[in-house]
Amino acid sequence: DTLWDLAIAEVEKRENPDDDDDVKPGEVWEKSVLFMGNKTGGKTTIILRCLEREESPKPTLALEYTFGRRARRPNTPKEVAHFWELGGGTSLVELIRIPITSHNIRSFAVVLVLDLSKPNELWTTMESLLQVTRNHVNKILTKLEKTNPEVAAEIKQRMRNDLQRDHPDYALVDPFPIPLVIIGSKYDVFHELDSEMRKIISKTLRFVSHYYGASLVFTSKSEALLLKARALINHLAFGYDKSKSMSVDPSKPLFIPAGLDSMSQIGPPPASDSDLGKMHANTPLELWKKVFEKTFPPKSSCDLQDTKDPAQDSQYAEYEVDVMRAQKNQ
């Protein structure tokens, strides 16, 4: 190609933006996904399965990065997806500022992994992680509105894409500013819980996912369930087609892609009318929180207290550094 050919191609590309996320044939579209959630909730296992890596998961230290490459069709360039994983439960949530930036916000998504076997930690973990992430993303969007209003408008419009304007809940929900998938892990342990408890957890997570415009999937180490979670993550990371299947039966693992649920199907919070009458809440989310925490009071343990000092971990031993460190401490 001569310089003129390239210039003409460049102008045509700008004048005819393709509606499919601006991806042109031959162009690689990079997406990023941040995994966060309960400690030892199975985030690393899910990432390894998505990337088809046969290695055993190690505990995540602070913020870890890996990537995957995949061609959607034969003879097309491989697309790159960046996978970030936040360790330490909610204790290191400030680190989300590192992967989520104004440069990649258009192609960023979040996967929240909640450990279904620890219902007492569930709401606190979810609330603190999503709140900090949302505040950070909103700050980026506010800056973008000044510097690049078109991109900011596009992101805000996309938040609403999963829920059509004629959806009865259009005005009742508050979509998360970037694509969100909520994964309930350790379904095998959860399945052993009392059926009433399972119903409350399932219903609450359905409401939260629908309220945030998120997809919801329950998973465990079973291959069939991991494949469902993988389908949702591949959609975020590599742009694969979205699954249209759905499972809302409370006696089976839930699988609900974003925008397919509704408040009428979910029903009211699982509490008696007299209990609901006594609860003062300003938003539907607050009401569900109160009902949920009545059955599963949150643990008040601080995440930071049981965080081991990675500097003392033998797998990170480095003789010269450790000697200097000991000398400094002394």
pLDDT at residue 19, as a whole number: 43
Residue 325 lies in a domain: no
Residue 223 lies in a domain: yes
pLDDT at residue 26, as a whole number: 42
Reference 41, options 193, 183, 232; nearest CA is: 183
The answer to whether 96 and 139 are in contact (CB under 8 A) is no
For the chain, what percentages of helix, strand and coil (3-state, to nearest 5) are there? 45, 15, 40
Residue type at position 90: T
Say how many domains are in the chain.
Answer: 1
CA atoms within 13 A on the CB side of 127: 14
Residue 9 lies in a domain: no
Residue 219 lies in a domain: yes
Residue 261 lies in a domain: yes
Q: pTM of whole model > 0.85?
A: no
Reference 132, options 95, 103, 161; nearest CA is: 95
The domain that holds 288 is classified in CATH as: 3.40.50.300
Per-residue H/E/C for 180-211: EEEEEECHHHHCCCCHHHHHHHHHHHHHHHHH
Enclosing domain of residue 169 = 27-304
Residue 58 lies in a domain: yes
Residue 17 lies in a domain: no
pLDDT values of the chain reduced to their tens digit, one per residue, 330 residues:
788 888 888 887 776 655 444 444 444 468 888 888 877 777 777 777 777 777 776 777 788 888 887 776 677 777 788 888 888 777 777 787 888 877 777 888 888 888 888 888 888 888 888 888 888 888 888 887 788 788 777 777 777 766 666 677 777 777 888 888 888 888 888 888 888 888 888 888 888 888 888 888 888 777 777 777 777 777 777 777 777 777 777 778 888 887 777 788 888 877 777 777 777 777 788 888 888 888 888 875 554 445 566 677 777 788 898 899 889 989
The answer to whether 184 and 208 are in contact (CB under 8 A) is no
215-251 as b/e: b if 16+ CB within 10 A: bbbbbbeeeebbebbbbbbbbbbbbeebbeeeeeeee
